[in-house]
């Protein structure tokens, strides 16, 4: 039921008109998709069938995951988690005054990086995201950091739990920067 108080969103004019690219001709047929006539009368011509693409030697390889690259660098000890965290924090200190993208930055990042380095030295298992720093929006609950959702009403609010996404990042060895 449509509300008479507020105009439904789908009736509001779009500020940015959406332009969709035209579909390739071979996907369109002039024949109906469903019919009471037998299927054998509705066959596609050779023109309308898409041609399979062949893979050549010059095809680019798929992009490699930066998370796996970081993990492999940590495990091979070409890089330490502390060095990685310090480089991210240094970059953040240089850019944050101009960008203002973070409301809160976790103080525990370097401590967590040291824990990862100790685990690697002892050949203990580390998570798939070990050493990866993840920025989390301020409206997602994190137990050890304020979650204000950018509102002064929630200023100083610290949830008693981690959101599921945050818990999963931590379980995989990732560090949270907060946002």
Q: How far apart are CA 78 and CA 95, in angstroms?
A: 26
pTM exceeds 0.75, yes or no: no
Q: What is the 3-state secondary structure (H, E, C) of the chain?
A: CCCCCCCCHHHCCCCCCCCCCCCCHHHCCCCCCCCCCCHHHCCCCCCCCCCCCCCCCCCCCCCCCHHHHHHHHHHCCCCCHHHHHHHHHHHHHHHHHHHCCCCCCCCCHHHHHHHHHHHHHCCCCCCCCCCCEECCCCCCCCCCCCCCCCCCCCCCCCCCCCCHHHHHHHHCCCEECCC
Q: Among 46-55, 72-81, 92-101, 109-118, where is mean pLDDT lowest?
A: 46-55
For the chain, give the longest Cα–Cα distance: 71
Q: Between 75 and 36, whose confidence is greater?
A: 75
d(CA 104, CA 176): 11
Strand partners for 133: 175
- Whether pLDDT at 63 is above 70: no
For 133, phi and psi rounded to 5 degrees? -90, 135
Residue 101 has a pLDDT of 84
List Cα–Cα distances, 21 to 13, 14, 24, 25, 111, in angstroms.
21, 18, 9, 12, 50
Greater pLDDT, 57 or 132: 132
- In angstroms, the CA 124 to CA 153 distance is 43
């Amino acid at each position: 039921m449509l509300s008479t108080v507020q105009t439904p969103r789908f009736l509001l004019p779009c500020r940015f008109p959406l332009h969709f690219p035209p579909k390739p001709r071979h996907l369109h047929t002039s024949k109906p998709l469903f019919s009471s006539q037998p299927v054998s009368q509705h066959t596609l011509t050779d023109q309308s069938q898409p041609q399979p693409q062949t893979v050549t030697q010059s095809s680019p390889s798929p992009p490699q995951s930066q998370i796996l690259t970081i993990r492999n660098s940590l495990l091979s000890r070409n890089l330490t988690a502390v060095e990685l965290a310090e480089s991210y924090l240094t970059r953040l200190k240089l850019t944050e005054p101009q960008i203002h993208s973070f409301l809160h930055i976790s103080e525990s990042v370097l401590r967590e990086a040291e824990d990862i380095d100790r685990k690697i030295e002892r050949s203990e298992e580390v998570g798939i995201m070990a050493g990866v720093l993840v920025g989390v929006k301020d409206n997602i609950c994190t137990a050890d950091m304020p979650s204000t959702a950018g509102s002064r009403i929630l200023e100083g609010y610290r949830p008693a739990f981690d959101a599921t996404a945050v818990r999963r990042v931590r379980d995989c060895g990732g560090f949270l920067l907060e946002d």
